[in-house]
């Protein structure tokens, strides 16, 4: 397996998040903590829990603010012990620069356009160009743009992943896991196809197997 799955823990329930991590632990080591959990105030505890197990945290805070605020906030984030955190490319060049400057040992991941919105490839490339110039470590984009974004030499992280048997929910620019990997994705963010499943581990294993056939 030369790509990695990041499971999106989109919940406000710490207990539920920990239970999911335990259930999936043998097959996945990357977990995404998003705005919902961050706003419960329980994120630091969950980060410690995941780090103690030996896992990695993708801190999906989606920063979008003025450069000074971004820089100062990133200083705080850099002490949390997360593997990486996200910033909107639309925050602009200066804010991205402030994030890169203050990132400490965490990776800066730029979000182009949310996969729940439609976007032209040229708009996405324009944003990726700015992100690459400012030295971010990776880019979040849909699998449909992955092959063009790959040219910039950044790690590619793709949400909007939907196996054929899963519901699309609110995602628009979706791809099946295998397509995303073929397009050059290094990390697949997968939430509801796993977390809403009656048997999350079975769903995860099914996804992994489908990418290997």
**Catalytically annotated residue among 29, 60, 103, 150:** 60
Closest CA to 138 of 110, 104, 113: 110
Q: Is 162 annotated as a binding residue?
A: yes
Closest CA to 11 of 1, 24, 20: 20
The Cα 165–Cα 145 span in angstroms is 23
Using rule CB under 6 A, residue 111 touches ligand C5P: yes
Using rule CB under 6 A, residue 138 touches ligand C5P: no
Q: Is 10 annotated as a binding residue?
A: yes
Q: Is 171 annotated as a binding residue?
A: yes
User: Whole-number minimum distance, CB 163 to ligand C5P, in Å?
Assistant: 10
Using rule CB under 6 A, residue 10 touches ligand C5P: yes
Using rule CB under 6 A, residue 191 touches ligand C5P: yes
Verify whether residue 65 is a known catalytic residue.
Answer: yes
Using rule CB under 6 A, residue 160 touches ligand C5P: yes
Using rule CB under 6 A, residue 109 touches ligand C5P: no
Applying CB under 6 A, the site for ligand C5P has a residue count of 16
Q: Which of 14, 38, 90, 114 binds ligand C5P (CB under 6 A)?
A: 114
Using rule CB under 6 A, residue 140 touches ligand C5P: yes
Verify whether residue 60 is a known catalytic residue.
Answer: yes
Which residues contact ligand C5P by CB under 6 A?
A: 8, 10, 34, 60, 111, 114-115, 140, 159-160, 169, 171, 189-192
């Amino acid at each position: 397996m030369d790509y990695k799955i990041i499971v999106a823990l989109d919940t406000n329930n710490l207990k539920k998040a920990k239970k999911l991590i335990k259930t999936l632990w043998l097959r996945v080591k990357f977990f995404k903590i998003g705005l919902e959990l961050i706003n419960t105030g329980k994120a630091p505890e969950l980060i410690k829990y995941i780090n103690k197990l030996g896992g990695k945290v993708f801190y999906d805070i989606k920063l979008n603010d003025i450069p000074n605020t971004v820089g100062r906030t990133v200083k705080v984030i850099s002490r949390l012990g997360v593997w990486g955190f996200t910033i909107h490319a639309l925050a602009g060049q200066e804010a991205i620069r402030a994030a890169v400057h203050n990132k400490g040992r965490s990776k800066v991941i730029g979000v182009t356009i949310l996969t729940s919105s439609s976007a032209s490839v040229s708009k996405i490339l324009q944003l990726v160009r700015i992100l690459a110039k400012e030295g971010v470590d990776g880019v979040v984009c849909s699998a449909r743009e992955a092959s063009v974004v790959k040219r910039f030499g950044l790690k590619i992280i793709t949400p909007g992943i939907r196996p054929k048997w899963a519901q699309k929910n609110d995602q628009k620019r979706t791809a099946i896991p295998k397509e995303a990997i073929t397009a050059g994705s290094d990390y697949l963010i997968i939430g509801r196809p796993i977390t809403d499943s009656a048997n999350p581990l079975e769903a995860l294993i099914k996804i992994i197997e489908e990418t290997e056939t």
